[in-house]
């Protein structure tokens, strides 16, 4: 009626959504959309999840769709992989990816390799998800980044969201994918609100796996990161802009398959590259990005060696002051950019 009267209707505005709520929305929408989808893991049902990611889902969908498991990663991961082989779509939550080490035989030898070893006759549509990387004050056995570990393995897809839109769109895409997907979230981002566009509020919103996003345009240096350090890169870019340095910030979003084309195009434009990650330096995600750039045509456009910013090459200490010095900070990124630009 208002349209007939010639009145202009405003579109729904973007809203603020935490990463926790974005993940909860994605799980809710996919459980509703496809009856083959189910969630299992420690405390995911009656307790609403250790991090409240599955809040309300057990009450809504019941025991057969949201399943509490014993504290036995190898056991419930094996159950989930077997279910995926008969075309259910499990979402297997690890309370932390550090504990996925207990189940890595199932993730790699069973889930990742079965499609290849069966000549394509058996697909394994499963999502392994949970918090990855540094946490706060929980020391070495809870604060490792496994992006390089899982990104190393053929047969897996590996995604690593930063924002609420990343979290929702990548989780929905992962659940719908016919391959095993490892989704590495950041516990420290769960409570952080991000702007969510009108498009991302749709139940059909998905982010294609394997496509990076340019979060900030720039001309002097390319900053490439994933997960929580993307925010640090944007903060560093703001600091450097005051000194006349314009950084292009790329959010990888997917570790495997890697969107190296977006990075190459940016390096060709900026002629400088800095990679930033919370994981250890040796054989890391940044090392892979640098190698791929060196092997490709973008290498000829580099005006200086690429620089990596990584976590320290030690098990994570417990003490906060040591912990802060073991993970990349904004000042470390600013220093690396100035080193790359020789300023």
Strand partners, 3: none
- What is the C-alpha to C-alpha distance for residues 236 and 217, in angstroms, rounded to an integer? 14
Alpha carbons 271 and 85: distance in angstroms, whole number = 46
CB-CB contact of 65 with 32 (8 Å): no
Structure tokens at 299: 């290498």
Q: Is 250 within 8 Å of 266 (Cβ atoms)?
A: yes
Residue 43 vs residues 27, 39, 50, 133: alpha-carbon distances, Å: 16, 11, 6, 21
d(CA 44, CA 66) in angstroms, rounded, equals 7
**Catalytic residue from among 29, 42, 142, 185:** 142
Q: Among this protein's residues, is 142 annotated catalytic? A: yes
Q: Which residues pair with 184 in a beta bridge?
A: 130
Are β-strands 254-256 and 157-159 bridged in parallel, bridged antiparallel, or unpaired?
antiparallel
Structure tokens at 184: 């590495």
Q: Which of 73, 93, 187, 248 is catalytic?
A: 73
Return the C-alpha torsion angle 208, 251, 311, 107, nearest 10.
0
Enzyme catalytic residues: 73, 142
């Amino acid at each position: 009626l208002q349209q007939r009267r010639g009145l202009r209707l405003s579109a729904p505005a973007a809203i603020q959504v935490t990463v926790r709520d974005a993940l909860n929305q994605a799980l809710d929408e996919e459980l509703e959309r496809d009856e083959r989808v189910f969630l299992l893991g420690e405390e995911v049902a009656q307790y609403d999840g250790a991090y409240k990611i599955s809040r309300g889902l057990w009450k809504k969908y019941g025991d057969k769709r949201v399943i509490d498991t014993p504290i036995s990663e190898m056991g419930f991961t094996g159950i989930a992989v077997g279910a995926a082989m008969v075309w259910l779509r499990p979402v297997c939550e690890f309370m932390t990816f550090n504990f996925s080490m207990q189940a890595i035989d199932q993730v790699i030898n069973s889930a990742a390799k079965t499609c290849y070893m069966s000549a394509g006759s058996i697909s394994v549509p499963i999502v392994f998800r949970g918090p990855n990387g540094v946490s706060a004050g929980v020391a070495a056995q809870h604060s490792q980044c496994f992006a390089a570990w899982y990104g190393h393995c053929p047969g897996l897809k590996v995604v690593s969201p930063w924002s609420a839109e990343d979290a929702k769109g990548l989780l929905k895409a992962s659940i719908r994918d016919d391959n095993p997907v490892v989704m590495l979230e950041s516990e420290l981002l769960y409570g952080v609100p991000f702007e969510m566009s009108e498009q991302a509020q749709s139940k059909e919103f998905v982010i294609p796996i394997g496509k990076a996003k340019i979060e900030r345009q720039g001309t002097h240096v390319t900053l490439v990161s994933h997960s929580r350090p993307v925010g640090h890169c944007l903060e560093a870019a703001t600091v450097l802009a005051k000194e006349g340095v314009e950084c292009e910030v790329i959010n990888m979003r997917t570790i495997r398959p890697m969107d190296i084309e977006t990075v190459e195009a940016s390096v060709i434009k900026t002629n400088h590259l800095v990679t930033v990650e919370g994981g250890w330096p040796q054989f890391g995600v940044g090392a892979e990005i640098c190698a791929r750039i060196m092997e490709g045509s973008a290498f000829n456009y580099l005006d200086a060696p690429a620089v990596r910013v990584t976590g320290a090459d030690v098990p994570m200490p417990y003490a906060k002051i040591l912990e802060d010095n073991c993970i990349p900070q904004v000042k470390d990124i600013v220093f690396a950019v100035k080193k790359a630009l020789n300023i």
